[in-house]
Chain A
Amino acid sequence: MNLERYRRQILVKEFGQRGQETLSKKNIVIIGGGGLGSNSANIFVRMGIGTIDIIDKDTIDITNLHRTSLFTQEDVGKSKALILEERLHAINPEAHIRGINQKITKENIESFVKNADVIVDGTDSVSLRHLINNVSLHYNIPWVYAGVYETVGMIMGVLPQKTPCFQCISQNIPESIPGEIPVLGSLPATIASIQCNETIKLLLGKPLAGLIIYDVWDQCFDVMNIKRNPDCPVCGKK
């Protein structure tokens, strides 16, 4: 590992050379390569995560460009996962990057995430998040939820059996919001950045913040400390 590349980051006392060396040995899986996933992948590869898999079956659409990172107008119509693989490799050739142009399903999710140290949520689907939550609990793999809507983002790291899971906080929400979700262009980069910090903390064994709610328009930042729900059908005591 070229430590010089990370010299300014190693100077951060919470992180240090030990943190840098730890990140270089870690494996994260990003599910979804859109607004959140492309921005978080961009940050992770620059920070020095050793292995990054990005899974997305979609192609780049012109309507993605206002909120994504690394894609250009010439990429429209191409695979998000494969373009991200190419761009991330160019940013940091030391990292092991794999773009996986496949749709995540109940049947195949295990094969993609079983070796992950942390799963990073870049999806736009509630049902897929429940699938990630289930596999996280089953295989004891932490994950970091993030979602965006209009000017509001939410982030929550899930440490299985230690912190509330996604089901604990989402019982009342519908499977999906019909129609296109409105998103301010600056929001996913901001929320992905916070999501990356929570992921790095998980990778370094540091405590998580809780459920973070950030409205980037009103600059209103909240952290809610929620307890696990003992009756949760996913993480509660059976």
Chain B
Amino acid sequence: MIITVLVFGRYKDFAGKDQINLDISIGNTLRDVVDAFVKVYPAAEKDKSRMMVTKNKMYASYDAIVSNGDEITLSPPVVSGG
């Protein structure tokens, strides 16, 4: 299934646009979405385990199942320097 993912921050630069389409299988999780994103944009590899992922405008666990029509966003991890 093809899902549309909104991307924020430097991920927008990686993609050259603010939304991308990713091909994932039915029953896949948000972790699979992250993996698919990193596969296409390897520059995001270092964020792989910390990426901020939302599903339908809500922060979601990487184990959450993705369904057709879900609004998925990917953004860089929360930063902590001061």
Contacts and interface: CB of A to CB of B under 8 A. Distances in A.
A35 B82 CA distance: 5
Interface residues of A, number: 43
B34 to A, nearest CB: 10
A146 to B, nearest CB: 8
B59 A164 contact: yes
A126 B50 CA distance: 13
Interface string B69-82: 00001011111111
Contacts of B82: 32, 34-37, 121-125, 146-148, 188
Contacts of A225: 57
A170 B13 CA distance: 23
Contact of A152 (B9, B50, B62, B73): B9
Given A177-B80, A224-B73, A172 B50 contact: yes
Contacts of A228: 58
B77 to A, nearest CB: 5
B52 interface: yes
B61 to A, nearest CB: 8
A226 B59 contact: yes
B51 A172 contact: yes
A112 B82 CA distance: 20
29 contacts: A35-B81, A122-B82, A129-B80, A147-B80, A147-B82, A149-B79, A152-B10, A168-B59, A171-B59, A172-B49, A172-B50, A172-B51, A172-B53, A172-B62, A173-B50, A177-B80, A181-B80, A181-B81, A188-B82, A213-B76, A215-B10, A218-B10, A218-B13, A220-B9, A220-B10, A220-B12, A225-B57, A227-B56, A229-B59
Interface of B: 8-10, 12-13, 49-54, 56-59, 61-62, 73, 75-82
